[in-house]
Amino acid sequence: MTELATPPVERDQDVKRISHWIGGRAVEGQSGRSGPVYNPALGRQTGEVDFATREEVDLAVQTARKAFPAWRAMSLSKRTALFFAIRELFDHQREDIARFLTAEHGKVLSDALGEVARGLEVIEYCCGIPELLKGEFSEQASTGIDVYSIRQPLGVVAGITPFNFPAMVPMWMWAPALACGNTFVLKPSEKDPSASVYTAELLKEAGVPDGVFNVVHGDKVAVDSVLEHPDIAAVSFVGSTPIARYVYETGTKTGKRVQALGGAKNHMIVLPDADIDMAADAAVSAAYGSAGERCMAISQVVAVGDAADRLVKAIEERLPKIKVGNGLEADVEMGPLVTREHRDRVASYIDGAREQGADVLADGRENTPEGEGFFLGVSLLDNVTPEMDAYKDEIFGPVLGVTRVGTYDEAVQLVNDNPYGNGTAIFTRDGGVARQFQFDVQAGMVGINVPIPVPVAYYSFGGWKNSLFGDSHVYGPEGINFYTRGKVVTSRWPEPATSKVDLGFPQTR
């Protein structure tokens, strides 16, 4: 086995303190509890983030509650203008946001810019909020009676987010929540919290009133305080499956609306008639991009029939070209893993797979860059079978498994038997088979010759099975529904006293 270097983590003199953001300003935590934040490319601690107490979460919620009446009363045209200002500011600052992501998450700068761009699309969608909130109207439902529907905000809503998209996933939540007239409390990942504080600063600069958007940092204590808080109406969660299940069960028990998106194991099926070069390019970018730390990463290729040898060879040929290193360097394509512990856990699957009978065609420990960063190169495992841990678990790192099957039916069966159902893809030139696949497959997001089918902002994002708890996907039309509740008004007005009042024009009634 190849050993990875595990030097002691060096703590810088100038480790910055990362505090909560409540009521339009930074608020230092009083709990005495905090967590380290690293620059994973340097393997060095760069920050110390405060962990909130129950009282600090309550302060954020009460602040958001106070800000709610004025925020929800702001006219749609004013809120729209504000959203255009937010869009402009975030667009202008996109590189600064991206640099926070590279510094604390480790993803390469181009990928970080891509994350911001996808988040911006959701903000742009929210600029159309007057159209999205339009209700329906039925005149003369009964004699003299009109019926109409309106959608109103819920109040204070909360978001709990994962480490792997520290800017975009919060945008999936706060943008539609605020656009609908709610106020917001964000509990970001404690591993890379700075982008959330920067988001708060930008929203203030754009003109969002104090108290409308708040950030509390922390761990389980903060999450439980959110889930149990009586003044929070709804919780959006994105993270791993066990925590998603816990958040859904705990939040709904206290009467909240909850959408909880969980983990994934995304399969990409490659049929014998596929364009093998296209499929190999797609597998490589979807498996190793962002070091495999994407919930829509392809972690398992299912090669059908004689596609297998050609595909594996084409993937292998591409691996030496992937440059691993510090994401701030221009030609680097893959950065480090988020923490040393996570890197070591991911690496343990390589030996595990070998011991369980897989062929290790590339071992990421043999191509890591020098230095103390949490690096792991790309790994490729062939002849992976469903009993192996590398198949069953969400590895969440740059490890791609290949499973060989004989037929399309066997391939679809594998995907459908998997407990996760986030994304999946098929590579083929046969339109009929592709259409059958979209009919057969049990997953929330399907790609046809597209490896990472993240929906555009005017559709909604979400998986099936253990990848989603609740019945609502995030952003897009389902996001607007999630953050509002419907009201139907039935109205009758007294007959106008036309005989007494001169309306100044002829009456036709």
The mark string for 245-284 relative to ligand NAD (x by CB under 6 A, - otherwise) is ----------------xxxx--------------------
Site membership for ligand NAD, residue 447 (CB under 6 A):
no
Site membership for ligand NAD, residue 470 (CB under 6 A):
no
Q: Which of 126, 127, 180, 295 is catalytic?
A: 295
The single residue listed with the structure tokens 């089918």 is 453
Q: For ligand NAD, which stretch binds (CB under 6 A), given 2-10, 112-120, 127-135, 154-162?
A: 154-162
How far apart, in Å, are the Cα atoms of 358 and each of 355, 390, 485? 7, 9, 51
User: Could you tell me the smallest distance in angstroms from the CB atom of residue 233 to ligand NAD?
Assistant: 19
Specify the 3-state DSSP secondary structure of 385: coil
Q: Is 127 a catalytic residue?
A: no
In this structure, what are the phi and psi dihedrals at residue 252, rounded to the nearest 5 degrees?
-70, -30
Site membership for ligand NAD, residue 467 (CB under 6 A):
yes
The single residue listed with the structure tokens 């007005």 is 493
| Strand pairing category for 232-238 and 156-160 | parallel
Q: Which residues contact 454 (CB under 8 A, 6 or more apart)?
A: 118, 296, 423, 445, 461
β-partners of residue 404 are 303
Q: Which of 100, 125, 163, 288 binds ligand NAD (CB under 6 A)?
A: 163
CA–CA gap between residue 379 and residue 330 (Å, rounded): 23
Pick out residues in 204-243 that bind ligand NAD (CB under 6 A).
Answer: 219-220, 223, 238-240, 243
Q: Which residues contact 202 (CB under 8 A, 6 or more apart)?
A: 86, 89, 90, 93
Q: For ligand NAD, which stretch binds (CB under 6 A), given 62-70, 182-190, 318-326, 377-385?
A: 182-190
Q: How many whole angstroms from its chain centre is CA 354?
A: 32
β-partners of residue 181 are none
Nearest to 178 by CA among 475, 457, 469: 475
User: Could you tell me the smallest distance in angstroms from the CB atom of residue 244 to ligand NAD?
Assistant: 7
Site membership for ligand NAD, residue 189 (CB under 6 A):
yes
The mark string for 115-144 relative to ligand NAD (x by CB under 6 A, - otherwise) is ------------------------------
Pick out residues in 60-79 that bind ligand NAD (CB under 6 A).
Answer: none
- Whose Cβ is closer to ligand NAD: residue 123's or residue 169's? 169
User: Could you tell me the smallest distance in angstroms from the CB atom of residue 456 to ligand NAD?
Assistant: 15
- Whose Cβ is closer to ligand NAD: residue 153's or residue 479's? 479
Structural tokens at position 462: 């979400």
CA–CA gap between residue 278 and residue 42 (Å, rounded): 34
Q: Which residue is nearest to ligand NAD (CB)?
A: 239
Nearest to 459 by CA among 442, 440, 441, 446: 446
Q: For ligand NAD, which stretch binds (CB under 6 A), given 162-170, 300-308, 326-334, 367-375?
A: 162-170
CA–CA gap between residue 371 and residue 373 (Å, rounded): 6
Site membership for ligand NAD, residue 295 (CB under 6 A):
yes
Q: With residue 268 as reference, give the H or E element that holds it.
A: strand 266-270
CA–CA gap between residue 404 and residue 417 (Å, rounded): 16
- Whose Cβ is closer to ligand NAD: residue 337's or residue 426's? 337
User: Could you tell me the smallest distance in angstroms from the CB atom of residue 497 to ligand NAD?
Assistant: 59
One-letter identity of residue 460: S
By rule CB under 6 A, what count of residues binds ligand NAD? 27
The single residue listed with the structure tokens 């060879």 is 313
The mark string for 372-411 relative to ligand NAD (x by CB under 6 A, - otherwise) is ----------------------x-x---------------
Active centre residues (catalytic): 295
Binding residues (CB under 6 A) for ligand NAD: these are 160-165, 169, 187, 189-190, 219-220, 223, 238-240, 243, 261-264, 295, 394, 396, 422, 463, 467
